[in-house]
Amino acid sequence: LADFDIPMYNADLEARGTPPDVLRLKQLMFEHPAWIICSPEYNGAYTALLKNTIDWVSSPIKSDPAWTDGFKSFRGKVVGMLSASNGALGGLRSQSHLAPLLLNSQCWLAPKAFALACAADAFDADGALQDKAQHNNVRAVVEQVLWAARRLQVD
């Protein structure tokens, strides 16, 4: 998301026009049949950055016939959830808040998810997970999302 210049969402700003990078992100998300959302947990919830992104991308653009449907970028996407936290739950609470939002946005939610506990100590100097079981849990989520996306994709 660092590659996009997306302001904090508000209806007054939106009324003046949708920012170009929001349109670019809407299109990018539309073009991909599946996503992995990996987010830290802040105060028991997903981040403001993630919420802001979802708010902008799901917002319909009344003046653009291609984007009058706010769920166009979300509908039918297979989504896997990964989270990380320094706490013992690894972001499970954030996933419990994110899941209903994704379902409401008409996404298919992968049954497998992974929450990385004690995240500050989980990575080596190169940024790789040190524990093979944790690595395998992440891989299992990715593989399930890809598997489901291939089966749900309509030609």
**What is the value of pTM for the model shown?**
0.92
Q: Are 117 and 88 in contact (CB under 8 A)?
A: yes
Tens of pLDDT along the chain (155 residues) come to 899 999 999 989 998 999 999 999 999 999 999 999 999 999 999 999 999 999 999 999 988 999 999 999 999 999 999 999 999 999 999 999 999 999 999 999 999 999 999 999 999 999 999 999 999 999 999 999 999 999 998 54
Matching residue, tokens 């939106």: 14
How far apart are the C-alpha atoms of 45 and 94, rounded to whole Å? 4
